[in-house]
Amino acid sequence: MKVFVDGQYGTTGLKIHERLNQRNDVEVLSIPEEQKKDSEIRIKLMNEADIVFLCLPDQAAREALKLIINPNTRVIDSSSAFRTHDAWTYGLPELSALQRGKIANAARVSVPGCHATAFVLAINPLVQRGILPRDYPVSCHSLTGYSGGGKAFIEQYETGRFSDISDNRSHPQHYSLTLDHKHLPEMKKFTDLEFQPAFLPTVCDYYNGMVVTVPLATRLLINQPSLQEIHAALTNYYQEERFVSVIPLDDTKEISQYALDPTLSNGTNNSEILVLGNDEQVLVACRLDNLGKGSSGAAIQCMNIMLGLDEELGLILEPTK
């Protein structure tokens, strides 16, 4: 199978290229360095490929899609341009029992956003199992490494060339303070919530890894479930999934009261869900690598499914040391 990465020098594109170059079951089409600005070669390779990864900003992804005229070329897009588009398939195989089959047969797949991936994995099962009311006023917080901001942001962060936080870049920085983050539409759509969550992300001075946390008041949930019942519902929902695990309650007791390390899934395609708190107030947390399951890993996982390959092929399963 022939694969082309359009936008291979961005953060996600580089990671996808890195993963693909370690494999011998796909042929990676690439543009020579001296011809990287040649649009004709780019268009030619896009239409020769069986799979094209679009690793571009939203508008550039929309424009690139117009260049693909080969009806047999299938597209995996990493931007937010098509995530809620009805003609595209949402690239989260663990969403439901049917989603993996939809991805396998899709011509167009949109990779979820990193924050949205963790949020949907944590909350969707509770809605589907009739625990979380669809009109619940959900709030959500995300702690993430600065690589999620893309190549330009990484450079600014690592060199301190900011106009507003250059002296404080080692401090956690809340952003999207207007509460209109671009992941919100997919967070609402793929959990079947009636309203978008109040979502506040925070970027920190480490490269990658994230934890999304959602606090829940059990008195407002259907039938007022206990912490154990919420944990059991999530465990049952993901019991057959390789890349999503719900940490046993006994194991969460070993977590320090002051630390929920966002980097422990780094270097993997794994997502870990933790259920913390007590029977009155429950905290559902999802930890993943924003460069793994949050972007490039998810893209490769979707490609494997679309090509009928082993879903785990080319994905690192154990955390980096």
How do 198-204 and 210-217 pair as beta strands? unpaired
DSSP 68-107: ---TT-EEEE-SSSSTT-TTSEE--GGG-TTHHHHHHT-S
In whole angstroms, what is the distance from residue 123 CA to residue 137 CA? 13
> Which amino acid, one-letter code, is at 182?
K
Helix (H, G, I), strand (E, B) or coil at 3: strand
Q: Where are the domains of the chain?
A: 2-111+294-306, 114-290
User: Are 2-111+294-306 and 114-290 equal in CATH topology?
Assistant: no
CB of 180 within 8 A of CB of 156?
A: no
CATH number of 2-111+294-306, picked from 3.90.79.10, 3.10.100.10, 3.40.50.720, 3.30.70.20: 3.40.50.720
Is residue 286 part of the annotated active site? The answer reads: no
Structural tokens at position 15: 């990671």
114-290 CATH: 3.30.360.10
More confident residue, 300 or 9: 300
Q: Would you state the pLDDT for residue 156?
A: 73
More confident residue, 260 or 67: 67
Q: Would you state the pLDDT for residue 125?
A: 98
pLDDT band, very low/low/confident/very high, at 320 (cuts 50, 70, 90): low
pLDDT higher than 80, residue 110: yes
End-to-end CA distance of the chain: 33
Q: Which of the residues 55, 114, 140, 286 is marked catalytic?
A: 114
DSSP 114-156: HHHHHHHHHHHHHHHTT-S-TT---EEEEEEEGGGG-HHHHHH
> Rounded to two decimals, what is the model's pTM?
0.93
Give the containing element (helix H, strand E) for 261. none
Q: Would you state the pLDDT for residue 194?
A: 98
Q: Worst-scoring range by mean pLDDT, 82-96, 105-119, 160-174?
A: 160-174
CB of 54 within 8 A of CB of 78?
A: yes
DSSP 266-303: TTSS-EEEEEEE-SSEEEEEEEE-TTIIIIIHHHHHHH
> Which amino acid, one-letter code, is at 213?
T
